[in-house]
Amino acid sequence: MDSIVVKGGGALSGQIPIAGAKNACLTLMPATLLSEEPLTLTNAPRLSDIRTMTELLRSLGAEVSTMQEGKVLALSCHGAINTRAEYDIVRKMRASNLVLGPLLAREGHAQVSLPGGCAIGARPMDIHTDSLALMGAEIDLRDGYLHAKAQGGSLKGAVIDFPFASVGATENIMMAATLAKGTTVINNAAREPEIVDLADCLRAMGAQIDGDGTSRIEIQGVDRLGGATHRVVTDRIELGTYMLAPAICGGEVELLGGRINLLQAFCEKLDAAGIDVTETENGLKVARRNGVISAVDVTTEPFPGFPTDLQAQMMALLCTADGTSVLEEKIFENRFMHAPELIRMGADIEVHGGTATVTGVKKLKGAPVMATDLRASVSLILAAMAAEGETRVNRVYHLDRGYEHVVAKLRGVGANIERIKEQ
Ligand code: UD1
């Protein structure tokens, strides 16, 4: 397995281009199942998760080809399709469950493997299945697969109150409802920018959707959807991650394509920590205000709150802040696995349940560490860039799921980082 070796060093300077959003692309791709006409996605990120979704969609009968070195995805699903999403692919990535809504809407039945365990928590699918049941689907679990069948052959509109603003359930139900008979209302819907991006794409395909970006989304079912060309929204999590690089190491970096409105709550916390963020013509510029990082308390919440997907990276910043910060994780029950690794680098962190208390130390020290999930791995790289000495991050395949060209992007702003290929 490859590893990444980082030598902590000086301040950073230069520009980092931000890719299209992984999480948006992973929900836009299954939208191809809703139409017989082609869907073209531009600004796609080059990531292993995207390749996994490609493999899944091909297994269902979709054609997927890539152009411009993977930045453009051409999807088409005009023939007969297979409605069984196999465990061997689904187990690699939870987002595979996003084919359930579209398959059920198009064919009236689907069998989708449950994704199974995940490093950051149990992540059930009850909100997805309860909602589809309200839309007239009969769903049971057999042999590890959800067997779903629309009564009478097609889904019906329904008023659905989510118990929690689940991102994936909002996406699945929104897609399913585009072809359902009648009107569907989702109350307590997720409001993430990736939901708005999906709604924009579905509208371009002919869907009738209102209220995306608010807690109440209304979808009027239509008979068929057409083709579209859609540009994937900027990856706000990649953006926030790289905004932390100059915050942690010093210097000034411009993030090309960044916008504050994608990350308002995160930018407010950076401001409180003493990090200046300014909008430029091409993106965002980030630098420390006066050399000192101040402690801040952070609670993760659904959008527009502080994103759980930036909690690990924020913790890396707060490890060397002046004072004590409290981080509360409210979305996933087991998302502090980076803490023991940061402690190996000299951080002072105590974890009790969903709360981590981080007391700043003067300097972190390089150490061999283990990446445990996607965002945890990048937090270790950020921490290592400001640590004394050398850090080797093992199990970096997690990183390839969500960060394209991470080594090249960080080297481009002056970081001393390299990938060591396992022979
Ligand atoms: C998406 C993102 C992920 C991000 C998360 C929260 C993608 C591909 N992934 O994941 O990066 O961390 O949003 O912002 O977009 N839950 C249930 N029952 C359900 C569904 C969810 O209990 O049926 C719980 C989950 O266990 C979790 C919480 O709700 O504790 C949030 O999950 P959800 O918003 O659904 O996240 P994902 O869509 O899986």
Confidence of residue 35 (pLDDT cuts 50, 70, 90): very high
Higher pLDDT, 121 or 292: 292
Query: Quick check: 117 pLDDT over 80?
Result: no
Q: Could you report the per-residue pLDDT of 141-158, keeping only the tens digit for each? A: 999 999 999 999 999 999
Q: Whole-angstrom Cα distance, residue 71 to residue 85?
A: 25
Q: Cβ contacts of residue 166 below 8 Å, gap of 6+?
A: 127, 128, 190
Give the Cα separation of 397 and 420 in Å (integer): 12
Q: Output the residue whose Cα is nearest ligand 1's atom 5.
A: 167
Does the annotation count 25 as an active-site position? no
The rounded percent of the chain whose pLDDT value lies above 70 is 98
Instruction: Check 118, 201, 249, 319 and give the catalytic one.
Output: 118
Matching residue, tokens 């930045």: 71
pTM over 0.75: yes
Q: Is the pLDDT of residue 174 over 70?
A: yes
**pLDDT given at position 9:** 84
Q: Is the CB of 95 under 6 A from ligand 1?
A: yes
Cβ of 170 less than 6 Å from ligand 1: no
Side chain identity at residue 202, one-letter code: L
- Give the tokens for residue 377: 């791995």
Over range 74-95, report the average pLDDT.
94
Q: Is 242 in the pocket of ligand 1 (CB under 6 A)?
A: no
Q: Is the pLDDT of residue 348 over 90?
A: yes
Ligand 1 pocket member 100 (CB < 6 A) = no
In the predicted structure, residue 52 carries a pLDDT above the cut 80: yes
Phi and psi, residue 407, nearest 5°: -65, -45
pLDDT above 90 for 98: yes
**The predicted structure's pLDDT at residue 221:** 98
Give the pLDDT score at 10. 86
Q: Please work out whether the CB of residue 26 comes within 6 Å of at least one atom of ligand 1.
A: yes
Q: Which atom of ligand 1 is nearest to the CA of 121?
A: 26
**Which of 108-117, 307-316, 347-356 has the lowest average pLDDT?**
108-117
Higher pLDDT, 219 or 2: 219
Percent of the chain with pLDDT over 90: 91
According to DSSP, residue 422 is labeled P
Confidence of residue 252 (pLDDT cuts 50, 70, 90): very high
pLDDT in tens, 16-26: 999 999 999 99
Please compute, for residue 211, the number of CA atoms within 13 A of its CA located in the half-sphere on the CB side. Answer: 16
Residue ranges and CATH numbers for the domains of the chain are 3-19+234-420 (3.65.10.10), 22-221 (3.65.10.10)
Which pLDDT tens digit goes with each residue over 350-380? 999 999 999 999 999 999 998 888 999 999 9
Q: Which tokens belong to 228?
A: 């579209």
In the prediction, which pLDDT does 372 show?
A: 85
118: pLDDT confidence band, cut at 50, 70 and 90? low
**Ligand 1 midpoint to CA 279 (Å):** 30
CA distance 22 to 220: 27
Cα distances from 378 to residues 158, 388, 401, in angstroms, run 41, 18, 11
* Spatial contact of 111 and 146, defined as CB atoms under 8 Å apart: yes
